């Protein structure tokens, strides 16, 4: 690589600055290292920039930052709290499936009796047929309605817990 090759690119100084930064953070290839070395030998402003960057990084590495003494304890507490929160919010699918299956089995087994009871109560009370039949539909859907309300309450409570733990 000749001296002309090092300086003939229109964005040579920009490329050098990018390579200097990448070299310090993630490393650069041997070809890029060779190009950068040649450029820095020929270009005093870029060499000064590379030197200033190296000096700044050395200064940053030598800084000591005082941490609050209870930072580790608070961080550990927050991590444990979040882990418990995640465990509590995990869906209990087996329990949900078991409860649903049991509800449907019991609903199917008792449906004829509930139908006759609602029909008798509706006739005795003079309630229109459509009303007591809708009552049967509500009775059939009641387990799903109760489960939905419970899930809404639990999810609303976990959202409040998340908000309160964020302020710690």
Q: Tens of pLDDT along 118-160?
A: 899 989 999 899 998 898 888 888 877 887 787 778 777 555 5
Q: Taking all residues of the chain, what is their mean pLDDT, rounded to a whole number?
A: 81
Q: Provide the 10 A C-beta neighbour count for residue 103.
A: 16
What whole-number distance in Å separates Cα of residue 157 and Cα of residue 168? 17
* The pLDDT value given to residue 47: 93
* The pLDDT value given to residue 2: 43
What whole-number distance in Å separates Cα of residue 126 and Cα of residue 93? 43
What whole-number distance in Å separates Cα of residue 4 and Cα of residue 27? 25
Tell me which DSSP letter residue 37 carries. Answer: H
* The pLDDT value given to residue 158: 54
* The pLDDT value given to residue 144: 77
User: In the predicted model, is pLDDT for residue 55 greater than 60?
Assistant: yes
User: In the predicted model, is pLDDT for residue 7 greater than 80?
Assistant: no
User: In the predicted model, is pLDDT for residue 16 greater than 80?
Assistant: yes
What whole-number distance in Å separates Cα of residue 15 and Cα of residue 28? 12
Contact 45, 12 (CB under 8 A): no
User: In the predicted model, is pLDDT for residue 78 greater than 80?
Assistant: yes
What whole-number distance in Å separates Cα of residue 162 and Cα of residue 141? 32
């Amino acid at each position: 690589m000749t001296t002309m090759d090092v300086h003939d690119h229109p964005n040579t100084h920009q490329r050098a600055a990018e390579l200097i930064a990448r070299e310090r953070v993630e490393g650069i290839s041997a070809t890029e290292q060779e190009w950068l070395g040649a450029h820095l030998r020929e270009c005093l402003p870029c060499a000064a920039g590379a030197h200033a960057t190296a000096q700044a990084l050395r200064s940053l590495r030598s800084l000591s930052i005082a941490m609050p003494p209870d930072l580790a304890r608070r961080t550990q507490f927050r991590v444990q709290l979040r882990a418990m929160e995640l465990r509590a919010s995990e869906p209990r699918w087996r329990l949900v499936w078991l409860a649903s299956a049991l509800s449907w089995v019991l609903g199917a087994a008792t449906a004829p009796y509930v139908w006759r009871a609602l029909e008798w109560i509706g006739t005795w009370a003079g309630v229109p047929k459509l009303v007591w039949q809708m009552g049967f539909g509500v009775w059939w859907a009641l387990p799903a309605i109760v489960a939905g309300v419970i899930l809404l309450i639990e999810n609303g409570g976990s959202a409040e817990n998340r908000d309160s733990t964020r302020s710690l």
